[in-house]
């Protein structure tokens, strides 16, 4: 035993320890590198795959509900598109006050309402559309005025009554009426023509319906 110790000197023992520790250190480094480059990414992929599988399983479970929601949304979208198409059909490209005047005249004659004045204002451009205000003056019975306004609201062309004023003396059978109407044209997506729009009824036009003319002659 003493002979073996004398054969391996201190320098050799020191060198052996260095080799041993170097081997251990190399093993630790290799294990760390393997964990970082192989094990950790693999574990992350496995975890992500598990989450994806859970999401797919939940989607399959909720598939009937999702299909029902899609059906409802599609139906709502079709209804909105149909309404938009209906509005577009009611809004012409140009102001065309003359065409609107003819429709108003027809309603007035049907309801025995005397139209004494029809004054279109200057068209105004808005965001996505344009509009024109029309001042209408006439005279008729309360029933004829109510029927006239009701039919105005049912015209194919989109319009609205912004203001309506009536006045009458005691015991009068007919009421002077002043109505402010708004007509719309040039929706977004169409050419909005505000200046230079063909309009056979310019501002200040005074027009009398057949009923008004008959009353004047009588």
Domains identified in the chain, total number? 2
Return the sign of the alpha-carbon dihedral for residues 122, 119, 97, 84: positive
- Whether 65 and 107 share a structural domain: no
- What predicted TM-score, i.e. pTM, was given to this entire model? 0.54
Highest mean pLDDT among 32-41, 162-171, 206-215: 162-171
Q: Which of 90, 116, 131 is the endpoint of a domain? A: 90
124's tokens: 């105004």
Q: For 112-139, what is each residue's pLDDT tens digit?
A: 999 888 899 999 998 889 999 999 999 9
47's tokens: 């975890």
Domain that holds residue 103: 97-217
Residue owning tokens 């501002």: 203
Element (H, E) at 165: strand 159-166
Q: For 59-113, what is each residue's pLDDT tens digit?
A: 787 788 888 888 888 989 889 888 888 888 888 888 888 888 899 999 999 999 9
- Whether 119 and 102 share a structural domain: yes
């Amino acid at each position: 035993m003493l002979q073996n110790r004398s054969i391996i000197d201190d320098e050799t023992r020191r060198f052996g320890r260095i080799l041993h520790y170097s081997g251990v250190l190399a093993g630790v480094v290799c294990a760390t590198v393997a964990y970082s480059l192989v094990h950790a990414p693999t574990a992350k992929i496995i975890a992500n795959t598990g989450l994806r599988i859970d999401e797919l399983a939940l989607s399959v479970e909720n598939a009937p509900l999702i299909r029902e929601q899609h059906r409802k949304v599609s139906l709502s979208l079709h209804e909105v598109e149909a309404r938009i198409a209906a509005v577009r059909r009611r809004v012409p490209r140009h102001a065309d006050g003359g065409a609107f005047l003819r429709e108003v005249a027809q309603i007035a004659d049907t309801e025995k309402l005397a139209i004494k004045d029809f004054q279109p204002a200057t068209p105004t451009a808005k965001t996505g559309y344009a509009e024109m205000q029309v001042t209408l003056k006439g005279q008729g019975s309360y029933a004829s005025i109510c029927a006239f306004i009701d039919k105005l609201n049912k015209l194919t062309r989109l319009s609205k009554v912004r203001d309506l004023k009536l006045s009458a003396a005691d015991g009068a059978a007919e009421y002077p009426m002043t109505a402010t109407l708004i007509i719309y044209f040039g929706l977004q997506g169409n050419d909005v023509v505000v200046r230079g729009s063909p309009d056979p009824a310019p501002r200040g036009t005074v027009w009398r319906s057949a009923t008004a003319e008959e009353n004047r002659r009588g």
